[in-house]
Amino acid sequence: MGERKGTNLYYPPDYNPKVGGLNKFMGTHALRERARKLHLGILIIRFEMPYNIWCDGCGNHIGMGVRYNAEKKKVGMYYSTPVYQFRMKCHLCNNHFEIKTDPANLDYVIVSGARRQENRWDPTQNEQVVPETKQTSRRLFDDAMFKLEHGEGDKGQAKKVAPALGRLASLRDSIWRDDYAANCALRKKFRECKSEMTAKEDRDAAVRARTSLDIPLLPEDDEDSKMASLLSLKPAQSIAERMNQTRQEIIHRPALHSCTGVSSAFLGVRAMKQLSESSLSRDSLGITVRGDTHQQTTTTTAAAEKNSLVSQDYDSSSSDGNS
């Protein structure tokens, strides 16, 4: 954008081509604000993070590929290759970190302000095929004997891993030889999983609508289902049982409330029933039925026994007083 402004747009009336270009005449640089520190050997560029790092200022993670406006300057040479250093500010805090190039190892090195997220490993530990190092490449190019030995070693390594490669090839052929069948199996499994997920979403939506909830539901667990069944809210008695119990209480309730008013306030239904049966019997009230000679005889006998007991108590009390 900067160079277009100097070549294709406005030229002032006092412009003199003998002075030089338009930027030189106006006292500006073609890179505009990017060259504001050019007198210090610093150029503002757009730098892309080469790998994942951790910021030392705020401790946040900065992913690979995040771009910054960085100050680029030359700090040295590696043979004929210049070494550049980039200084940029974290977008999450006020911390600055610096990264420089490493031409010897074809990498970047963090100078200060951050640390690299270490997720590297040695590929030889995983038996991966790795390219040759520079020292090995030079020896292969210069030393014929080393090249021969290196070739023999590669052949031995190939023979060593041949059985494993054969097993992998046979396993691949057994699964993917018939592409149509494998594709059908995968699609069938995908449809089953999709139908299960759809049914689960419908059940969860029904539960949320029934309970007036608006939260995601976790999968069901056997222990949770068992606990929920134990904590289910069910009445101790049904409506029919409760009505039958109320009817029995009304039937066995005493007719005369005056005799059992106090007891009914403090005793239960069973105790009140026993009290009413004992206190409101025919014998205790002296009620006789006409024509019932057995009942009349029993009443007369009970009255005689009561009179005898009273007379006996009176005689005994009199004798005690005389003595």
Tell me what pLDDT residue 49 has: 93
- Which of 68-82, 185-199, 216-230, 250-264 has the weakest average pLDDT? 250-264
Asked if residue 227 is part of any domain, the answer here is: no
Residues 148 and 78 reside in one and the same domain:
no
Asked if residue 104 is part of any domain, the answer here is: yes
Residues 146 and 86 reside in one and the same domain:
no
Reading the block at residue 24, the tokens are: 């030189």
Tell me what pLDDT residue 14 has: 83
Residue-wise pLDDT tens digits, 157-190: 888 888 888 888 888 888 777 888 888 988 999 9
Neighbouring residues of 83: CB distance < 8 A, sequence distance ≥ 6: 74, 75, 76, 77, 100, 101, 102, 103
Residues 36 and 115 reside in one and the same domain:
yes
Tell me what pLDDT residue 283 has: 61
DSSP code, position 32: G
| Average pLDDT for the chain | 78
Asked if residue 235 is part of any domain, the answer here is: no
Residues 114 and 44 reside in one and the same domain:
yes
Asked if residue 153 is part of any domain, the answer here is: yes
Q: How many helices (H) and strands (E) would you count in the chain?
A: 11, 8
State pTM to two decimals. 0.41
Q: Identify whether the C-beta of residue 88 lies closer than 8 Å to the C-beta of residue 70.
A: yes
Asked if residue 6 is part of any domain, the answer here is: no
Residues 94 and 45 reside in one and the same domain:
yes
| Size of the chain in residues | 323
Residue-wise pLDDT tens digits, 115-172: 998 887 777 777 777 777 778 888 888 888 888 888 888 888 888 888 888 888 888 8
85 — phi, psi (to 5°)?
Answer: -125, 140
| Position 25 pLDDT exceeds 70 | yes
Residues of the domain holding 50: 31-120
Residues 51 and 114 reside in one and the same domain:
yes
Asked if residue 67 is part of any domain, the answer here is: yes
Residue-wise pLDDT tens digits, 206-215: 988 888 888 8
Residue-wise pLDDT tens digits, 219-245: 888 888 787 777 766 667 778 888 998
Q: Backbone dihedral region of 273: left (phi > 0), alpha (psi from -120 to 50 degrees) or beta? A: alpha
Residues 160 and 194 reside in one and the same domain:
no
Residues 153 and 102 reside in one and the same domain:
no
Q: Identify whether the C-beta of residue 110 lies closer than 8 Å to the C-beta of residue 95.
A: no
Asked if residue 11 is part of any domain, the answer here is: no
What is the side-by-side order of every strand in the sheet holding 61-62?
Answer: 61-62, 53-55, 114-116
Residue-wise pLDDT tens digits, 259-281: 544 444 444 555 555 555 555 55
Asked if residue 149 is part of any domain, the answer here is: yes
Residues 214 and 275 reside in one and the same domain:
no
Q: How many domains does the chain have?
A: 4
Instruction: Characterize the bridge pairing of strands 61-62 and 67-78.
Output: unpaired
Distances (CA, A) of 198 to 193, 215, 219, 273: 9, 17, 13, 62
Distance CA 5, CA 160 (A): 66
